[in-house]
Amino acid sequence: MTSDPPAIEVPNVPRHVAVIMDGNGRWAKQRTRPRAFGHRAGVGAARRIVRACHQHGVEVLTLFAFSQENWQRPPTEVSLLMQLFVRTLTREVKSLHKNGVRIRFIGDHRDFPASLTQLMADSEALTADNTDLTLVVAAGYGGQWDIARAAQSLCADGLPITPENLEARLVLPELPHPDLLIRTGGEKRVSNFLLWQLAYTELLFVDTLWPDFDEAEFAQALSWYSGRQRRFGRVPEGT
């Protein structure tokens, strides 16, 4: 957080893991199947990683499911993805609830189908009191949208745009910033994900395509993270 930086630390388990789940299309292409096949396989990987976070004691998992820029994909792919969100949420919400997972959605949902936004609201309400793991699904999300919206809301209230004020108006201000970001699929970019919140996040880029990402590789990512020294701009004591 901007106002109260944590101590210099060699971290153990990250409190908050954020994931850019990339590579579904290429995974399908390798198998000469349509992109939809890769997206469906990607749901399986998401399920595995939710479970793994739970087991490792991660507090928050944020999954980038659909960016604002993804609206520019062919309409057939966009509508397939919307259908897949509806189907996946319908199928998974009960077991997530049973396992103590709280679900939250971030992003601009104005152009989402009403059936989906209703399901999202219902899932958030059902799981609101769960405390084991918070699962944040970023859908229709853009980091620039998040920051611009926060700035706009400060302006509307006549408040100065300071880091602390902005921070308080971003999505989910009560959650810690990501400690670890994993991007699968080999690209080394953040693609307009949590731009503000990634200020001091440890970034891990892996070549594995998202549908192949499994518990073992997630455990390796945590192990890599535990070897990082987080300094937040300072020097370790005794230096």
Q: What residue ranges bind ligand IPE (CB under 6 A)?
A: 20-26, 64-67, 70, 81, 185, 187, 189, 191
Residue 143 or 185 with smaller CB distance to ligand IPE: 185
* CB 33, min distance to Mg ion, A: 16
* CB 57, min distance to ligand IPE, A: 25
E strand or H helix that includes residue 204: strand 202-205
Q: Is 22 a catalytic residue?
A: yes
Interface residue with Mg ion among 22, 179, 202, 217 (CB under 5 A) is 22
* CB 25, min distance to ligand IPE, A: 3
* CB 189, min distance to ligand IPE, A: 6
Torsion angle (degrees, nearest 10) of CA 61, 176, 166, 196: -60
- 134, interface contact from ligand IPE, Mg ion, none, CB < 5-8 Å by kind: none
End-to-end distance of the chain based on CA atoms, in angstroms?
Answer: 24
Which of 4, 12, 22, 192 is catalytic? The answer is: 22
Task: Give every CB contact of residue 179 below 8 A, 6+ residues apart in sequence.
Answer: 11, 14, 15, 16, 17, 201, 202, 225, 230
CA distance 92 to 101: 11
Q: Where are the alpha helices (DSSP H) in 99-179?
A: 114-127, 143-156, 163-169
Q: In terms of residues, how long is the chain?
A: 239
Q: Are 48 and 164 in contact (CB under 8 A)?
A: no
Which of 4, 12, 24, 70 is catalytic? The answer is: 70
Here the tokens at position 184 are: 């699968």
**E strand residue ranges, 12-164:** 16-20, 60-67, 101-106, 133-141
Q: Is 70 a catalytic residue?
A: yes
Residue 14 or 140 with smaller CB distance to ligand IPE: 140
Q: Where are the alpha helices (DSSP H) in 128-228?
A: 143-156, 163-169, 215-226
* CB 24, min distance to Mg ion, A: 7
Written as one letter, the residue type at 6 is: P
Is 21 one of the binding residues for Mg ion (CB under 5 A)? Answer: no
Residue 22 or 92 with smaller CB distance to ligand IPE: 22
Residue 38 or 169 with smaller CB distance to ligand IPE: 38
Residue 70 or 153 with smaller CB distance to Mg ion: 70
Catalytic residues: 22, 70
Point out which residues bind Mg ion (CB under 5 A): 22
